[in-house]
Amino acid sequence: MDNLVFEKTKSTLAVNFNAQTGVLELSGSSYPENTSEFYQPLIEWIQKYFLEVTKKLTLNIKIDYLNSSSIKFLSDIIDKLENYHKSSGEVEINWYYKEDDDDMMEMGEEIKEDVTFTFNLISA
């Protein structure tokens, strides 16, 4: 399975999904011109990973800004991780936020309320 790597732009995240290590990273700001076009390949890559690789998946999130449609797509990704976990897959999210960034901290806290896998909130 190929890795998925996108360079970050002003309005899209840097993406580094490594199929060999199972470590996925999202970083930067997200308010794409076409949100579905940006996030759909990420969702498809994760679904393929669950079918073909089936190892532990660690998602490192280092995001400083999400517009509302990006929040929805990120939530869809996290739902897929929750389903994988519920079907005995091993999942971990490390949610990094800047010390003074209450918005990203609170968003992480709210997501943590609804998942059953390991979800680490990390002040960086």
Partner 1 sequence: MPDDFIIKHNSGEASLVIGYAGVCNHSVLEKFTEVLFREAEPYLSPKEIKTTLFCSNEVIQNVGFYSMERGSESDASGIGKFELAILPSRVLITSTNLTTVSDYERMKERIENLNALDQEGLKQLYKEKLRSESEEESKGAGIGLIEIRRKSKNPIVITLSEQESAKQIIFEITIDKGNDNG
Beta bridge partners of 59: 24, 93
For the segment 35-94, give every residue that binds partner 1 (CB under 8 A). Answer: 65, 67-69, 71-73, 75, 79
Residue 99 touches partner 1, criterion: CB under 8 A: no
Say if residues 67 and 31 touch (Cβ distance below 8 Å): yes
Q: Write down the least CB distance from residue 86 to partner 1, Å.
A: 15
Residue 6 touches partner 1, criterion: CB under 8 A: no
Say if residues 13 and 28 touch (Cβ distance below 8 Å): yes
Both tokens of residue 60?
Answer: 């490192």
Binders of partner 1: how many residues, by CB under 8 A?
19
Residue in 7, 37, 44, 102 binding partner 1, rule: CB under 8 A: 102
